Amino acid sequence: MDLTEAIQNIQPLDSQAMEASWKHWDSIAKPLRSLGKLEETVVKIAGMQRTPQVDVKNKELIVMCADNGVVAEGISQTGQDVTAVVAENFLDDRTCTALMAKECGAALVPVDIGMVKDTRVDHSDKVAYGTKDFLKEPAMTRAQAIQAIEVGIHRAEKAKQDGYRMLATGEMGIGNTTTSSAVVSVLLDVPVETVTGKGAGLSNAALSHKCDVIREAVRKHRPDPNDALDVLSKVGGFDIAGMAGVCLGGAALGMPVVIDGFISAAAAITAQHIRPQVTDYLLASHVSGEPASELLIEKLGLDPWLHCNMRLGEGSGAVAMFPILDMALKVYYSMATFEGIHIEAYQPL
């Protein structure tokens, strides 16, 4: 699918499948709706997959790895070489997220969508060797923004072809809290300082400089808040665009997509501006420790599962949600029904 096809293929949730899923939940021998969000999420996934026989046993975390030229402005504590090191560590189970994914049986696929150098990570989808310094010039061309989104769409297609039924978005890229803050500030029309945090440990002075860089870039390039592609191309990043594509592609394929923290949510809000109905297929794993996380989740109309004050990124929050969902589905499929144990069912009062 290209971007246009993905947009056209996103359908409303299947209300009949959701109704059947609720009917099954209510037949299980426990107090009605007593598992709260666990039940609600399974029902929502039934609507996505268009069947009450929910199947998310095989899960894949897609980690978009990219570098950002704005790092040249001193907005990060570390240099771009760290992106490549961590990206390769995903392959060797040497990151927090890789270990977490392995523990819960989820696949982790790092994608080089725009790192400044080639590594052992698959770079067949690389759009360019990093974005431009958006303080000096637009981060990318509009064509590159579309290309990066379509990388995400194609990765979602490949995951479904490989037998995966649930996706999650993650990222790795030094400087990507800066690009995310810029994108969110423009799309939501909120002050830069409201949506900009210290990222991976900036000082107060460095945070102030980071905000100044974003404000000046927005003033200089004047991205159109009504055109998500324009915003992406001027102040975004390839990783944000790629994750937005995973959201759109997953939705077009009827697959649930679990978003991680602030940067994943920035990608999700970008996808929402491209096709509002995409949020029907998104699940918010947690509220990040970054300042704008709660605002973004609210704007997406989602209800987060976890409140752990995490701010690692890389898809770590999304992976942390997986075991809880698996437990919910164990109850959904394995617990006895009222009829099966011959007792009168609870009735809604």
Which sequence positions are flagged as catalytic?
314
Q: How many helices (H) and strands (E) does the chain have?
A: 13, 5
Query: Do residues 134 and 179 touch, judged by C-beta distance below 8 A?
Result: yes
d(CA 317, CA 109): 16
Query: Do residues 143 and 236 touch, judged by C-beta distance below 8 A?
Result: no
Query: Do residues 232 and 240 touch, judged by C-beta distance below 8 A?
Result: yes
Residue where the block lists tokens 């701010």: 311
Query: Do residues 181 and 196 touch, judged by C-beta distance below 8 A?
Result: yes
3-class DSSP state for residue 267? helix
Nearest to 295 by CA among 131, 156, 171, 184: 184
Residue where the block lists tokens 């007792």: 343
Nearest to 329 by CA among 14, 49, 11, 99: 49
d(CA 51, CA 61): 23
Q: How many other CB atoms are found less than 10 A from the CB of residue 312?
A: 18
DSSP one-letter string for 186-223: HHHT--GGGS---TTT--HHHHHHHHHHHHHHHHHH--
- Amino acid identity at 213: V
Q: How many other CB atoms are found less than 10 A from the CB of residue 5?
A: 13
